[in-house]
Amino acid sequence: MLNNAIHDRSRSESFKEAILNRRMLICVFTGFTSGLPLYLLFQLVPGWLRMEGVGLAEIGFFALVQFPFTWKFIWSPIIDRFTLPFLGHRRGWMLFTQVVLLFSMGSMGVFKPDVSIWSIAYLSIAVAFFSASQDIVLDAYRRELLPDVELGLGNSIHVQAYRLSGLIPGALGFILADHLPWHMVFVIVALFMLVGIIATLVIDEAIAEPTPPKTLRDSVIEPFRDFLGRAGLRPALLVLTFLFLYKLGDNMATALQTPFFIDLGFTGTQIGSISKMASLVAVILGGIVGGIIMVKLAINRALWLFGIVQIVSILGFVILSEVGPNPWMLGVAVFFEYLGVGLGTAALIAFMARTTNPAFAATQLALFTAIAAVPRVFANSVTGVIVEQTGWTNFFLLCMVFAIPGMLLLIKVAPWNENRTNAGR
């Protein structure tokens, strides 16, 4: 009864009161800091390689450097179990990974793709490893910070800030590349990690007196035992399959987004200004609309609605591939892509957070997000080959087909007519 009363009272709060609290502001910083290194790998590096003459197939296989995102649950128990000797249980790991990311991202541009492609690959793996490690601790911190009734709104804000950070490597980076050498571009982009570093120094621990697992064995076994014990084997496997499939289509569609724009004939300045301005508008709108919908309709129904939007949004790329280098169509296609993918990601992360036990947040969320990242790494690694065999238009149509199975699994894992009382749990 008490939980229901708290839930009902939270639902009655105005959207303005909900979004202006300190927890929502922290979600802005966690999202921005989480997205910056990932978009450097997804947008700036592929565009840099393409401009330097690297082939599409090679760029596609370059996605394999993101392998750490699919295996981060292996070392997440270490982050859960041990506390670094500064700043606290979560903030210490946050600061450590952010500082390492700043230096590794900033040093990438000193290499030349035509002579040091393997050095770039190794450094990209390092960025991916520490970015995945940062995500482990940020996801756990956010799960500990947000009450259940704020998971939808908080994660929507996190995801929109996450996508907003893509403006730095994906917009500012390409605009600067038309005027500065690449090593300076990477240094400037990396300096934006200071946003996360400063935020980490200012905020407090989400839990004043955390109780990490007593042994490393407990930190490895108990999170998985808890998940299987609560869900059962068959429902747990359905959830994991759903996490793998829900964003498969749009992950493939956006894997070679920047090389796609370059192949159509857009300049670096057009990519950095038109497409990223459209994405900025979509991010702001998506954050507001997504937060309201998940507060009003709860997470299950948001998964249905946002999933449909993210499938339809791929049509923008289909049309753009046929129209060619039309600046207006570029803006429209990118707007709907960012809106659809951002909304779908917000709902999926909220679903994952709701499915976890806060006592095992780091490892369970690392497992869930790693499974969701598998198609982004493995499928994306062959997208260049698929494009070269089918062409851009047929490739994007195929991406829409691959998005359907994940939607069908919603019938089992997140039915539309969910119990509203349990929607926030």
Task: State how far the Cα of 18 lies from the Cα of 104, in Å rounded to an integer.
Answer: 37
Look at residue 6 and tell me if it is in a domain.
no
Mean predicted lDDT score pLDDT of the chain: 82
Domain with 231, as residue range(s), is 15-422
- Residue-wise pLDDT for 402-412, tens only, equals 989 999 999 98
The predicted pLDDT at position 2 comes to: 42
The conformation of residue 423, written as its DSSP 8-state character, comes to: T
Tell whether the model's pLDDT for residue 6 goes beyond 50: no
Look at residue 7 and tell me if it is in a domain.
no
Residue 65 confidence class, pLDDT cut points 50, 70, 90: confident
The predicted pLDDT at position 209 comes to: 66
Look at residue 10 and tell me if it is in a domain.
no
Look at residue 1 and tell me if it is in a domain.
no
Task: State how far the Cα of 243 lies from the Cα of 233, in Å rounded to an integer.
Answer: 15
- Residue-wise pLDDT for 149-205, tens only, equals 777 778 778 877 887 888 898 878 888 888 888 889 999 999 999 999 999 999 988
CATH code, domain with 335: 1.20.1250.20
The predicted pLDDT at position 114 comes to: 74
Look at residue 171 and tell me if it is in a domain.
yes
Mean local confidence (pLDDT), 19-36: 85
Look at residue 267 and tell me if it is in a domain.
yes
Cα dist. 35→164, 211, 382 in Å?
A: 8, 28, 23
Count of structural domains within the chain: 1
Handedness of CA 350, 355, 361, 366 (dihedral sign): negative
Look at residue 8 and tell me if it is in a domain.
no
Tokens coding 336: 């709907």
Tell whether the model's pLDDT for residue 7 goes beyond 50: no
The predicted pLDDT at position 175 comes to: 84
pTM for this predicted structure: 0.73
Tell whether the model's pLDDT for residue 419 goes beyond 70: no
Listed ranges 15-29, 127-141, 294-308, 375-389; the one with the highest mean pLDDT: 127-141
The percent of residues above 70 in pLDDT, for the chain, comes to 88
Type of residue found at 319: I
Look at residue 5 and tell me if it is in a domain.
no
Higher pLDDT, 338 or 392: 392
3-state secondary structure of 45: helix
- Residue-wise pLDDT for 87-114, tens only, equals 888 899 999 999 999 999 998 888 887 7
